[in-house]
A and B are shown apart, each in its own frame.
Chain A
Amino acid sequence: MPWVETFARYLHGTRLSWAVAGGYQWIWPLCETLHFIGMGLLVGIVGVLDLRMLGIGKRLVPGPFERLIPWAIGGFLLNLVTGFLFFTGDPSQYIHNTVFWLKLLFILLAGINALLFYATGIARRVDVLGPGDDAPLSAKVIAATSLALWIGVIYWGRMLPFLGGAF
Chain B
Amino acid sequence: MDLLRAVENSGFGIWVRESGSVWSYPTIIFLHAVGLTFVAGVNAAMDLRLLGFAPRLPVTSMAGLFPVMWVGFWINALSGVALLIADASTMMVSWVFWVKMAAIALAVVNLIVIRRLMFVDVPESGIARDIVPVRVKMLAGTSLLFWTAALTAGRLTAYLGAGALAKGSH
Contacts and interface: CB of A to CB of B under 8 A. Distances in A.
Interface residues of A, number: 42
B88 interface: no
A39 B170 contact: no
Q: Helix, strand, loop or mixed for chain B's interface?
A: helix
B68 A48 contact: yes
A41 interface: yes
A84 B94 CA distance: 31
A37 B58 CA distance: 26
Contact of B156 (A33, A159, A162): A33
B30 A41 contact: no
Contacts of A159: 22, 26, 30
Contact of B40 (A25, A40, A58, A167): A40
A158 B33 contact: yes
A154 B33 contact: yes
Interface in B39-94: 40-45, 48-49, 53-58, 60-65, 67-68
Given A32-B155, A39-B41, A158-B33, A57 B54 contact: no
A59 B38 CA distance: 18
Contacts of B61: 59-61, 131
B9 interface: no
Given A22-B169, A39-B37, A158-B33, A71 B53 contact: yes
Interface in A58-88: 58-61, 63-68, 71
Nearest to B125: A131
Interface in B115-170: 147-148, 151-152, 154-156, 158-159, 169-170
B97 interface: no
Contacts of A60: 57, 61-62, 64-65
A32 B48 CA distance: 23
A44 B64 contact: no
A29 B155 contact: yes
A33 B149 CA distance: 10
Contact of A51 (B34, B36, B68, B147): B68
A14 B28 CA distance: 36
Interface in A16-40: 22, 25, 28-29, 32-33, 36-37, 39-40
Contact of B26 (A57, A67, A158): A158
Contacts of A29: 155-156, 158-159
B41 A44 contact: yes
Interface of B: 22, 25-26, 29-30, 33-34, 36-38, 40-45, 48-49, 53-58, 60-65, 67-68, 147-148, 151-152, 154-156, 158-159, 169-170
